[in-house]
Structure 1
């Protein structure tokens, strides 16, 4: 596609050199080539993980806008499961590009996956990766990523997948505009906890500055994403937080704080499951625990588990052993049994995941 070739030759703003833990120049070059090689008739399918959060959805939609700027005419964005976008994300630009999973092309020419550490996070859409003639690019920042794509651009040092997506857009010569920037800003802000988490580096603030320079309104975005909840969700939080438990001896004495939410809780307050996602922030603030956990029921004996660490424990190690993934400070998995049994399984792994101190190294 000639438009893409010309845009990719545009000047690229200087970026920090990789420290060796992230994508190699060969990885970046392969991803750029996969986009450059598109023809006017090529079909591009963008996929993010099930139950998309701000980073997954924002990175995918921001990149979709970038492809449009390059002249890509045929593209779809999707995610597995019910085609329901969490209410705080319903103001994102580009939602009109979303299609239900069962309407996504079966044989696209290029598939780009966002924020998924393994193919299992793509549900039934994972079958699109194995088609003859389909090129697959994976953009992610989870250290636990299984490298399931043909081309893997994985940067565990990145605060969010949006950091990887912005870098690839820059290498393709796509200038930022307000639509791209708002999507990537939402992605960056959500995965850094509104720039509060340990992964918030000078480079993160530099990226935020580039995005804000397009004229987007951070106050309005933050109010919509972080400070707007249904009243029923507030009542639900009260019920779930009333069950919170502290295990000060867990994780070699670093401590674990946890609670659980049931399907009955959601029904009683008339809420959808997505409203539980921010609840981990109310749990993780307990001063007596390094590790926090919210166990959310998704079926009779099945639970979606969110874990956070303040740095003393690598929760991704726990998640990987239990069938999930993530990174040192945030990870998750799907557990089975009762809520107590799921937490017992976590406790069994926490001691082995404690990060050695400087004196112990």
Structure 2
């Protein structure tokens, strides 16, 4: 515990009112903290359950002043909160993660440069910010994936390009904004690691998590013995720690990796916050990623989380509310919850739409085989494609 630890009874603030903020608020309240959320949406999932909801824009000076006035320390729940707002808050209150780390995560060009500095392998790439950069792209980067440097997530802001002509056309269609071109590699599977780092430099981590994405959105996370082979798991954990250390990071950090056909790992991207792929920890670990976020923000001791049960997390998108047709209908929760080891987490969003993250389902059982069987039963009931 740091000497200036913030103990339960104080108020912790969070920038952003989405589902990650909601789960942070729940974790903080369970530990005895009061909470404050700043979000422009009056019906934000986190704002609806917090003690205080400051309903302003992220750069509103009055709103930021009010948040700092009632909060002992402040975190963020998504990486696109303006870094300038975090800098303003940090002038009077502890802020974790800091603006510098968030700025790097907001820009793929700076993010990849940081990975290289930390000695973590990533796919061969080139930054494209000018016409000259476009002309100078090495031929070996094609075919490749063109990604906007900023504001891309869940598969948005990216497109496959096979030739120089396609590259030029797609960059033009993207508005000539700064981009990264990554060489397409023979990918076999995906994984991620979540670490928590305190102000004193202490780090703990969750187990390596095997992920399945569909149409750019995380669909399934599996965490159990053998889900990620031990050599790759250790490599991913050490790489994630190096990335956090290189940022002098404070808070919860998730780093995603691709495994290539030869078994080697390359880093994909990082998220300076709790992550979809860590939601299983709410039911399968003795310390969840959201409790780790509270502990790092408040300067409390960090204990190494223990996975006490094999787990599978199913992401629940708004599509499930339209499985029977165009009319919105509630999924069969009673049948799903009749399955042993199922824990339903819905985010309090008032309306479903296709592609919208509405909640997640955690399944824990005594053995990997049992958890997989139950997860497949749940997926079948919900209309989720098997995995």
Q: TM-score range by the shorter chain?
A: 0.3 to 0.5
Higher percent of residues as helix: 1
Higher percent of residues as strand: 2
